[in-house]
Amino acid sequence: MGLVLFLVLAGLVVFCFVRLLYAKWVPPPSRKKDSFTPCGCVFDLDDTITCGSPEKAVSLCKERGCAIGINTARRFPWANDINLARMGFPENVLNFEDFVYNKSGTDIVQQKVEGLKKFQQKWKIPSPKDVLFFDDNLANLQGATDAGFTTISCSTGGTCGIREKQLKEANEFFLSRPGSQVASQKEKDKDQPGHPRTSGI
């Protein structure tokens, strides 16, 4: 029993050491000075991306050019129980650059909102309403809504996580943004008979 415990602790130490080295040497996404990001998608962990189809939401946010982050009530930046890379989360999340956690374990709503504000400011996202926040806790969602952020509840109808309902809401959010209707119509026009298509070369 003692040997097993020793091996587990040794494994955790090695894991944390590798993570720290990774975070130190992997550069953050490059951005031009004074540039801004049009939108952001921030995800809670437990009961938000631990069930359902979070990878679809991450993919959708990437397609729209959004910055992506994690904002969790966990007290440590530990997500080894969740394969974030397989879900498609970018390097700035995997190296914990945009991974907000609650060190004190208290004032969860306040900490969540503060994390969202810092995320918006860092990525120079024009408005809080341009940041889409996925969470399963109603208090967290209400706090974010009161601060002006756009929220999607991931706990509805007795189910948890990001499912078809949440994906539909996310799509509606993107379609409601300025210029999205024009882009959407252009995509539809491409599928119409006689519409000139660009070469794939």
**pLDDT tens-place string over residues 138-151:** 999 999 999 999 99
Q: Mean pLDDT, the chain, as a whole number?
A: 81
**Domain spans, the chain:** 40-177
Only one residue has tokens 């397609």, namely 63
DSSP 3-state of 111: helix
Q: What is the pTM of this model?
A: 0.73
Confidence at residue 49, expressed as pLDDT on a 0 to 100 scale? 96
Confidence at residue 109, expressed as pLDDT on a 0 to 100 scale? 97
CB crowding 74-102: b at 16 or more within 10 Å, else e: beeebbeebebeebbbbebbbbbbbbbbb
- Class in CATH terms, 40-177: alpha beta
Check residues 147 and 200 and name the one with the higher pLDDT: 147
Of 16, 14, 68, 82, the C-alpha closest to 38 is 68
Confidence at residue 105, expressed as pLDDT on a 0 to 100 scale? 84
Check residues 89 and 198 and name the one with the higher pLDDT: 89
Q: Which of 4-8, 19-23, 120-124 shows the lowest per-residue confidence on average (mean pLDDT)?
A: 19-23
